[in-house]
Amino acid sequence: MEHLIPQHLFIDLGQPALLGLLVVSLGALILGADWLVDGASGLAIRAGIPKIIVGATIVSLGTTSPECAVSVTAAWSGEPGLALGNAVGSVIVDTALIFGMCSLIVRLPADRFVLNRHGWVQLGCGVLLAGLCGLAYWRDGDDAVIGRNVGIGLLALLAMYLAVSIYWSRQHPHGEPFQTPDELARKVPVTPETQETQKHVSPGFLVGLFVVGLVIVLLSSRVLVGSVTVLAERWGMPQVVIAATLVAFGTSLPELMVGVASVVKGHRELLVGNVLGADILNVLFVVGASAAAAPLPIVEDGHGVFLYLHLPAMLAVLVVFRVLIQMGLKRGQFPKWSGLPLLAMYIAYTFFQFVS
């Protein structure tokens, strides 16, 4: 996105034009997310694949592409230290902020089959990345890197994960029906109402809707972050604050908008699946592709903030999320208050970035 829409294009614009771009890009982002969710849910129904698995694979591959593009570009441009921070920060944003915020808005489903598989893969990927970083630091100290061979190995694990996800989807073709407490109290029957409205829509149209929605989400996210960043600089916001908030948050904006659209349109399984898949892909896809492009330093310029803040924060968020998963499996849905500890952890993580 940085190469397609370079930052200098925003710098040359006046404030009214930037404000106009901000409004237009936000509207386009909402529209694109809406189309993406409709296309993904329709394809899931037509193919007989649970929406939560579509969210964990197809949708996540699309929404994590900004993180991958930013990280690989940084590695190629001689700033490989940004890649690890971007990937780990995105895991924290996806799980603590996006899932935490949405779980406070609505009750989210806890599909036992998926959470007992993709959920453990999510935690395992976080532990694997932390282990690789810890091992490299123990061996090489401040010169530790995630090397190209490790990156290629992570990409191989990515291919295995996608293949296994297809196998799992065939074992779990219909997902687990989810009803809110109000629907259960009123004894509303579980009916495939979405299937009735979408079963006559052509697969080609649904694929086009998904692809066009994804492109709009990615482009409008870039325009929104670019215009907001320039406006923040002109309004006197410090550069360190911009880097630690707007830029880091911007690459996870597609996941946020897709998550909100999924909730609004009643496809809550897509949100849960997208968070699980995005976390997995941030390790296997983003870190893997970036390390394959150039070795990624773990300690940059003598500062070990990645080791003592970012990695522990990611692991803490994933462990708390796993505990919430176990609680959700007992009742078929996540507790609505589960967003509180996750959001509190995100706020604490953001605060410590400024004081560290």
Per-residue pLDDT tens digits for 208-245: 888 888 888 778 777 776 777 787 778 776 544 454 45
Which of the two residues, 307 and 160, has the higher pLDDT score?
A: 160
Residue 307 C-beta-side C-alpha neighbours within 13 Å: 19
Secondary structure (DSSP) of 120-187: HHHHHHHHHHHHHHHHHHHHHGGG-EE-HHHHHHHHHHHHHHHHHHHHHHHHSSS------HHHHHTT
Which of the two residues, 115 and 259, has the higher pLDDT score?
A: 115
Q: What is the pLDDT of residue 188?
A: 41
User: How does residue 62 score in pLDDT terms, banded at 50, 70 and 90?
Assistant: confident
**pLDDT per residue as tens digits for the range 242-268:** 544 565 666 677 777 777 777 777 778
Q: What is the pLDDT of residue 251?
A: 66
Q: What is the pLDDT of residue 250?
A: 67
Question: Is residue 150 scored above 80 in pLDDT?
Answer: yes
By DSSP bridging, strand 296-297 and strand 145-146 are antiparallel
Q: Mean of the pLDDT values across residues 172-190?
A: 48
Which range, 22-26, 136-140, 328-332, has the best average confidence (pLDDT)?
136-140
b (16+ CB within 10 A) / e for 96-129: bbbbbbbbeebbbbbbeebbebbbebbbebbebb
Q: Mean of the pLDDT values across residues 67-78?
A: 69
Question: Is residue 149 scored above 90 in pLDDT?
Answer: yes
**pLDDT per residue as tens digits for the range 17-41:** 888 887 888 778 777 777 877 787 7
3-class state of residue 12 by DSSP = coil
Residue with tokens 């150039």: 294
Domains of the chain: which residue ranges?
55-191+227-355
User: How does residue 190 score in pLDDT terms, banded at 50, 70 and 90?
Assistant: very low
Task: Catalogue the E-assigned strands of the chain.
Answer: 145-146, 296-297
**Mean predicted lDDT score pLDDT of the chain:** 78
Q: What is the pLDDT of residue 70?
A: 66
The class (CATH top level) of 55-191+227-355 is mainly alpha
Q: What is the pLDDT of residue 159?
A: 92
Q: What is the pLDDT of residue 141?
A: 86
CA distances from 330 to 167, 296, 321 (A): 25, 41, 15
Which of the two residues, 76 and 241, has the higher pLDDT score?
A: 76
